[in-house]
Structure formats: C-alpha cells, structure tokens
Amino acid sequence: MAEGHETPDALNLVTAMGPDKTLALKVVDMQGELVHQWPVDWFDTWPDPDHLPKGAVPQTRPGTHIHGTKLLPNGDVIFNYEMQGTVRMGVCGDVQWRLPHQTHHSLHLDDDGVLWIPGVRTGQQKLPDYPAHVPPIRESMIFQVSQDGELLEALSVFDLLDLNGQRALLHLRSSAISNNVTGDSLHLNDVEVFPNDMAEGYFRKGDVVVSLRNINTLMVFDRDWSIKLMKVGGFVRQHDPDFIDGDTLMLFDNNNIGPSSFGQQSRILLLDGPSKELTELYAGTAANPFYTAIMGKQQLLDNGHLLVTESIAGRGFELDESGELVWEYINLVEEGVVGIVEEVERIPASFRQVFETATCGN
C-alpha cells in the first residue's frame, strides 16, 4: 500500500490466474494478504458439462478462467466460468446452483435482484432471420437470471439491433464483396442497468447499457428495447461501461491500435450521453504505463478515487483525483512471473466479519 491511502481497512475481491494452472477467486486486504478464498476448479465444479457444444468442453487445467463476479452480502459469490456457465457458490465453497449456458465477461445484479449476464448461443445451423450469418454462429445473448439460478429471459442482441433499425451493425465484420459473417460478429462483453439510487438525467431508471467489443460500439436501451444512445468508435475494443451519473458513462478503452512515445496505452474515458462527446479521464503515462490489449475493468470509488484493472499486466491500481498512484496490487504467481487478473474490485471492510464468522467445516 502506498503512503497516503485513505481506506487502509478496505478489502479487495480478486479474480485471477494462480500458480500451476489454477484459478483464483479470493479476497485480499490492502497489503495483499489473503482474507478468504473459494475453491474454484472447473473440473470439480462442473463434472458433466453436457450443455457445451462439441469441441468446447475443457480437457486440461485450468480449462477456462473466471470472468464476471458478484459477491453477495452473506459471502456467497456468483461467477462466470468464461464461456462455460454461471455458478453460485456458498461462502464455504458449496455449489448452490449452476446455469448451463455459455455465459462470460461480466455479471450485474440490478436493484430488483435480477442478474444480467452476457452469453452466446452457438449454432451450426443458419438463422432464418439472418441468412448472411454463416455457421458456426455465435449469437450474442443477454440473460436475465434470478438469484436462485432460474433463467427469466433471454434476449438476442441480433434481434435488439434489428428491432431498432440497426441491422447493418451485424455486418460490420463482413468483406467488401459479401455481407456474410461468421463466428463472434459482435462480442457482447458487458450489460448493466441504471441504478435506482442515482439521480436521473439523460439516462433514466430501467435503462440498460451494453458493450459490443468487436464493432467498437456502446448502446443504451430502455425497457421497451428501444435504443436511446448509440456510440460507434472513439474507442477501440472497449470494456466495462458504467453509469456514473444521470448523463455520463465511464468506460475502459483498450485502445490497442497504435503506439505512443512510450508504448501503447489504454485509457479510461467519459461519455456524455446528450452530446455523445468523449473525454479522457486517464491514460497511461511514462511514469505509470497502463495497457492491456484485452479485458480490463474500472471502478469509481466512493472517495472519488479510480480503481483500474490492467488485466494482462497482472495488476490492479488505484489513482487519486489528481491521477496519482496511491495503491497497487500485483498478481505475482512465481518469481518474476505475473498471472492475468480479470478484476480487482474494492469491497467494504464489513465483509471481513462475514468471512470470520462463517462456520466452514464445523
């Protein structure tokens, strides 16, 4: 922990790759010391993955990685095994339910207690409504799921775009002489709902933001499935858009298209809803380089600081309001080697009591 940090008792939920081809889902304190961990092994958790397409079943460890988590007040955690399914695990590691769909990337719990999870529906057959999509097709899906693991609704992002007159976006990855596309044409990587306790502005209660990485696009739609904001470009291969007030989104711009004087740099951007203008909040500097070609998260903390996950570099770091580095976490898995970090999320210090009073093994 760097000097001057204002929340020395806070905790951090970390999802990462561990040593020896293991997965890590754990809580560490501000000094990086372990407070709690869950036993996350794909092969132990899901011994009968008959929901996966042929060829998608992991064969060797780690098999997949964890991408998207939600820690519940009682210490249970809900998380995605990337492209393999969603699991709710008790504080002591007991599997409470498994959602047999190809979920991935993020997991959002709205104020009504509903989980919103990106997923794909993989198909080897043509879709009658989308004849230019050539199998194998990965249709981006938004799953709404109860905290008991019940699938409440599944929305096709193909259909969402079509309903809003944006069918052309389904073909941005096609060639100049053919509209045909195949595989992961959109790559939905986040879906989040406007919070009830936030003052409304351009964005309102019930609005939903989604990120489509492969076409460099953010969208916000309302509960009538009507798109009210669409921003294409100005960022590259982006992740993790968050509502931060009634008019503004914050997003992680991977920006993996060109070097600066000190190497490629990712950015944290602000998007103004009414004007669609982008403002750079933070970018890497010569003193604190910051770049991850894939993945990445950001979290605006209650004290105004910014917590950033630089995934491929294997670290999370916190910046104060002036952009100065005040804390960082390095996922050192062996001497001189870091492991990928999917996310470092700041959580309240009160969770320490939850973990200490859990009667695991008693």
In this structure, are 76 and 107 located in the same domain? no
**Would residue 53 count as lying in a domain?**
no
Statement to judge: residues 180 and 170 lie in one domain: yes
Domain that holds residue 234: 102-291
CA atoms within 13 A on the CB side of 269: 26
**Is residue 297 included in any domain, yes or no?**
no
Give residue 291's pLDDT: 93
Q: Is residue 304 part of a domain?
A: no
Q: pLDDT value at position 8?
A: 79
Among all chains, which residue has been given the structure tokens 């973990």?
355
Give the Å distances, CA to CA, from 4 to 30, 32, 146, 319: 12, 17, 41, 11
- How many degrees, rounded to 5, is the angle at CA 112 between CA 316 and CA 190? 40
Same domain, 270 and 201: yes
Q: What is the DSSP string of 46-57?
A: -S--TTSPTT-S
Asked if 170 and 270 sit in the same domain, the reply is yes
Is residue 91 domain-shared with residue 109, that is, in the same domain? no
Per the structure, the count of domains in the chain is: 2
Q: Same domain for 8 and 115?
A: no
Closest of 2, 12, 24, 6 to residue 333, by C-alpha: 24
- On whether both 85 and 124 belong to a single domain, the answer is no
Angle among Cα 330, 73, 326 to the nearest 5 degrees reads 30
Query: pTM for the full model?
Result: 0.95
φ, ψ of residue 43 to 5 degrees: the values are -70, -30
| Residue pointed to by tokens 């996922």 | 331
| Sequential pLDDT tens for the chain (362 residues) | 434 456 778 999 999 999 999 999 999 999 999 999 999 999 999 999 999 988 889 999 999 999 999 999 999 999 999 999 999 999 999 999 999 999 999 999 999 999 999 999 988 888 889 888 888 889 999 999 999 999 999 999 999 999 999 999 999 887 777 888 888 999 999 999 999 999 999 999 999 999 999 999 999 999 999 999 999 999 999 999 999 999 999 999 999 886 655 577 999 999 999 999 999 999 988 888 899 999 999 999 999 999 999 999 999 999 999 999 999 999 999 988 999 999 999 999 999 999 999 888 75
Residue that the structure tokens 């060639």 belong to? 175
CB atoms within 10 A of CB 284: 18
Residues 145 and 231 grouped into a single domain:
yes
Beta bridge partners of 301: none
Neighbour count for residue 187 (Cβ, 10 Å)? 20
| pLDDT at residue number 221 | 98
* 73 lies in some domain: yes
Q: What is the pLDDT of residue 124?
A: 83
Q: What is the pLDDT of residue 10?
A: 94
pLDDT number for residue 4: 44
Whether 93 and 113 map to the same domain: the answer is: no
Per 3-state DSSP, what percentage of the chain is helix, strand, and coil (rounded to 5)? 5, 45, 50
Pairing of strands 133-145, 115-123: antiparallel
